[in-house]
A and B are shown apart, each in its own frame.
Chain A
Amino acid sequence: MASILIGAACFVLAATALGLLRILRGPADADRMMAAQLLGTGGVAALILLAVAVRTPAIVDVALMLALLAAFASVAFVSSASRSRDKAPPATDPR
Chain B
Amino acid sequence: MTLALNIFTALAVFAGTFFFLAGTVGLLRFPDALTRLHALTKADNLGLGLVVLGLLPRVEWPFGAFKLISVWLLVQLSGAIVAQLIADFVRREEPHA
Point out the residues of chain A lying under 8 angstroms from B27, CB to CB: 19, 22, 34-35, 38
Chain B nearest CB, measured from A9 CB (Å):
9
Point out the residues of chain A lying under 8 angstroms from B86, CB to CB: 30, 33-34, 37, 74, 78
- Which of A12, A16, A34, A70 is in CB contact (< 8 Å) with B78? A70
Point out the residues of chain A lying under 8 angstroms from B88, CB to CB: 78
Q: Is the CB of B51 within 8 A of A49?
A: yes
Point out the residues of chain B lying under 8 angstroms from A81, CB to CB: 89
Contact with A along B58-83 (1 / 0, CB 8 A): 11110010011011001100110110
Q: Does A91 touch B at the CB level, under 8 Å? A: no
A8-28 at interface with B (beta carbon < 8 Å): 8, 11-12, 15-16, 18-19, 21-22, 28
Interface residues of B: mostly helix, strand, loop or mixed? helix
We find that the number of chain A residues with CB closer than 8 angstroms to chain B is 43
Point out the residues of chain A lying under 8 angstroms from B21, CB to CB: 11, 15
We find that the number of chain B residues with CB closer than 8 angstroms to chain A is 46
Q: In the docked arrangement, what's the CA distance between A28 and B33, Å?
A: 8
Q: Is the CB of B13 within 8 A of A60?
A: no
Show 18 A/B contacts (Cβ-Cβ < 8 Å), sorted by A.
A8-B14, A12-B17, A19-B24, A34-B33, A35-B27, A38-B27, A38-B44, A41-B48, A41-B75, A48-B51, A48-B55, A49-B13, A64-B71, A64-B74, A67-B74, A74-B78, A78-B86, A81-B89
* Residues in chain A within 8 A of chain B (CB atoms): 1, 4-5, 8, 11-12, 15-16, 18-19, 21-22, 28, 30-31, 33-35, 37-38, 41-42, 44-45, 48-49, 52, 55, 57, 60, 63-64, 67-68, 70-71, 74-75, 78, 81-82, 85, 95
